[in-house]
Chain A
Amino acid sequence: GESVGLHLPTLSVQEGDNSIINCAYSNSASDYFIWYKQESGKGPQFIIDIRSNMDKRQGQRVTVLLNKTVKHLSLQIAATQPGDSAVYFCAENTRKDAGGTSYGKLTFGQGTILTVHP
């Protein structure tokens, strides 16, 4: 899961295992969520997004689950590969008003380091 501070959570898995990365968000007015993957020396790479009117969305080898009741987001990676090793960030976009207009900015979690061992 996510934590605040300099020490990022870590997850180590064996190649071929499924990985689950968790994220807690705090703003109940957030209505759009994104998972990013960041490799060393690179910018964050978009993986998958989900809107608050959904609780599950699937992509290629990835699934995002959203539980608004407990303000929890998770990213599941199936058949994890060494190339999946990276830092994973969740990000939220917060609804600005009742009309649905959102702030432009994303608020990012601190990240989780995923290491996949061959």
Chain B
Amino acid sequence: GAGVSQSPSNKVTEKGKDVELRCDPISGHTALYWYRQSLGQGLEFLIYFQGNSAPDKSGLPSDRFSAERTGGSVSTLTIQRTQQEDSAVYLCASSLVGGRSNQPQHFGDGTRLSIL
């Protein structure tokens, strides 16, 4: 498909384990974003990539959270030593460009993360 692809779609893990969430943006989109959505809530910004650089990582809630992007394409969000409060849907979005030229962000269907 041509949309944003995220994997896995669901992840259940035990407290204290590390998890990796993957995002494949729309081909040609240089900007990539990670958000978190808790049950019944709006979306909370985590980090923004322009190419492989992250000019804004202000939304990462703690140093247990990190993200990288390689080749200007795929991004991985890693949560170390997971806690129950990390349970949420993690959404990835991409846009044609970021910053000065406002373009709509297009979202994947997210990874539903449950910490036992």
Interface residues of A in 22-81 (CB under 8 A from B): 31-32, 34, 36, 41-46, 49, 51
* Contact indicator per residue, chain B 44-58, by CB within 8 Å of chain A (1) or not (0): 110010100001101
Quote the shortest CB–CB distance from B112 to chain A (angstroms): 8
A105 touches B100 (CB 8 A): no
Q: A49-B102, A102-B99, A110-B41 are in contact. List 6 more A-B contacts (CB 8 A).
A: A104-B33, A104-B55, A105-B58, A105-B59, A106-B105, A108-B43
Interface residues of B (CB under 8 A from A): 4, 31, 33, 35, 40-45, 48, 50, 55-56, 58-59, 91, 93, 98-100, 102, 104-110
Interface residues of A (CB under 8 A from B): 6, 8, 31-32, 34, 36, 41-46, 49, 51, 89, 91, 93, 99-111
A105 touches B45 (CB 8 A): yes
A43 touches B107 (CB 8 A): yes
Query: How many inter-chain contacts with C-beta < 8 Å in the A-B complex?
Result: 68
Quote the shortest CB–CB distance from A70 to chain B (angstroms): 21
B42 touches A89 (CB 8 A): yes
Write out the residue numbers on chain A whose beta carbons fall within 8 Å of the beta carbon of B55: 104
B107 touches A101 (CB 8 A): no
Write out the residue numbers on chain B whose beta carbons fall within 8 Å of the beta carbon of A91: 43
Write out the residue numbers on chain A whose beta carbons fall within 8 Å of the beta carbon of B56: 103-105
B105 touches A34 (CB 8 A): yes
Quote the shortest CB–CB distance from B6 to chain A (angstroms): 8
A106 touches B45 (CB 8 A): yes
Which of B31, B40, B50, B107 is in CB contact (< 8 Å) with A44? Answer: B107
Write out the residue numbers on chain A whose beta carbons fall within 8 Å of the beta carbon of B50: 104
A40 to B45, CA, bound (A): 20
